[in-house]
């Protein structure tokens, strides 16, 4: 890992700042993690850092479709950190059953290494949010997961099937993911179903 430049500023907790800098430099690696998903225009594969940014912005944009009382600030923070573990664990394609079997173990190990790079209070906060996202036991986590699942569906529809066509994904396989969206937002779940219906009519999904 690249070490931050030495900092010895007066009036600054240099140990704390250097820990924060080490974390920020380390998570820059997320820009190098390529996902299977293409950009909306189909020009190239998306990386995990831009994916996380796009989800955070989507959560704020779609906030009115979250269950009443949902803390959108918490959702946004959750989405900004949820894929940091992919620096070590790599991206797991949602339709890859074999890779998915080891996903939880790989990502927990990554969380154990990456979040403690932060000062203790920030490390605890980040890990709490990441664990919450994984557990899906709160409205915030469920809405965050709904946004995370909807995003690649939008991209695939707009680039004429994208990874659905490339990997021969069926309608049933995609519909199985809609349950997670509906758990977080009934409105977005209904939209996802309509999107899949249209994608099926267009021939983007197998029978």
Tens of pLDDT, residue by residue over 190-204, are 999 999 999 999 999
CB contact at 8 A, 30 and 83: yes
Which structural domain, as residue segments, surrounds residue 143? 14-201
Answer whether 0.85 is exceeded by the pTM. yes
Q: Is residue 8 part of a domain?
A: no
Instruction: Convert the pLDDT of each residue in 7-36 to its tens digit.
Output: 666 777 789 999 999 999 999 999 999 999
Q: Is residue 149 part of a domain?
A: yes
Neighbours of 206 (CB within 10 A): 15
Number of domains in the chain: 1
Q: Is residue 4 part of a domain?
A: no
The tokens for 40 are 């909306």
158: confidence class by pLDDT, cuts 50, 70, 90: very high
CATH number, position 196: 1.10.3210.10
Q: What is the DSSP letter of 39?
A: P
pLDDT at 4 over 70: no
Half-sphere exposure at residue 106, Cβ-oriented, CA atoms within 13 angstroms: 15
Residue 2: what pLDDT?
60
Mean of the pLDDT values across residues 135-144?
Answer: 97
Spatial neighbors of 70 by CB under 8 A, at least 6 apart, are: 63, 139, 140, 143
């Amino acid at each position: 890992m690249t070490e931050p430049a030495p900092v010895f500023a007066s009036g600054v907790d240099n140990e704390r700042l250097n820990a924060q800098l080490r974390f920020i430099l380390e998570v820059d690696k997320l820009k190098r993690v390529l996902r299977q998903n293409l950009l909306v225009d189909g020009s190239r594969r998306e990386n995990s850092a831009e994916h996380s940014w796009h989800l955070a912005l989507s959560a704020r944009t779609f906030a009115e479709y979250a269950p009443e009382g949902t803390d959108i600030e918490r959702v946004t923070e959750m989405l900004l950190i949820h894929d940091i573990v992919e620096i070590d664990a790599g991206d797991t394609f949602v339709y890859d059953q074999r890779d998915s079997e080891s996903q939880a173990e790989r990502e927990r190990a990554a969380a154990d290494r990456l979040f403690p790079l932060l000062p203790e209070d920030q490390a605890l906060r980040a890990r709490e949010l990441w664990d919450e996202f994984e557990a899906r036991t709160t409205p915030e986590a469920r809405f965050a997961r709904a946004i995370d699942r909807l995003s690649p569906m939008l991209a695939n529809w707009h680039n004429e099937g994208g990874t659905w066509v490339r990997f021969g994904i069926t309608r049933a396989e995609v519909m199985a993911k809609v349950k997670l969206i509906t758990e977080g937002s009934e409105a977005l779940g209904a939209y996802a179903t309509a999107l899949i219906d249209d994608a099926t009519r267009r021939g983007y999904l197998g029978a």
